[in-house]
Amino acid sequence: MERSKAKSITAYLEARQKERAAPASSGTSFGLLAALAGAPQGAMALAELQQATGMSFADFSQSIQRLVNTGYLTVSGQPGSETARLTKLGSEVGDLARPS
């Protein structure tokens, strides 16, 4: 764990609170599943999903492709307005990935 550079206990506690507010698994394929598990009907527009995870375009597109290839999600819609949707398997794993 990285040590805080805060000069006071109040600043330290505020920094720790911000860390806890951010999803622990964002920026990963697991984070993608967690984000979709928290979305209505387990679906989200790809542009919104990328923004929610904070991933770079390259990492995001690779993760999406891996998750589609392994059966965790499907992608449908017209280019530029595609939607990612969890499969049954993806939903089960996504529920496990969500913070409690």
What does the pLDDT look like over 28-79, one tens digit per residue?
888 899 889 889 999 999 999 999 888 999 999 999 999 999 999 999 999 9
Q: What is the pLDDT of residue 98?
A: 73
- Whole-model pTM: value is 0.69
Contacts of 84 (CB under 8 A, 6+ apart): 32, 36, 43, 44, 45, 46, 49, 64, 73, 74, 75
- Return the H-helix or E-strand segment holding 56: none
Domain residue spans of the chain: 25-97
Which is nearest to 25 in space by CA: 17, 15, 14, 36?
Answer: 36
What is the SS3 assignment for 39? coil
pLDDT value at residue 67 = 94
Question: Which CATH number, 1.10.760.10, 1.10.10.10, 3.40.50.280, 3.40.50.2020, labels domain 25-97?
Answer: 1.10.10.10
Per-residue confidence (pLDDT) for residue 100, from 0 to 100: 62
For residue 2, pLDDT over 60 is answered with no
What does the alpha-carbon distance between residue 23 and residue 9 come to, in Å, rounded to a whole number? 23
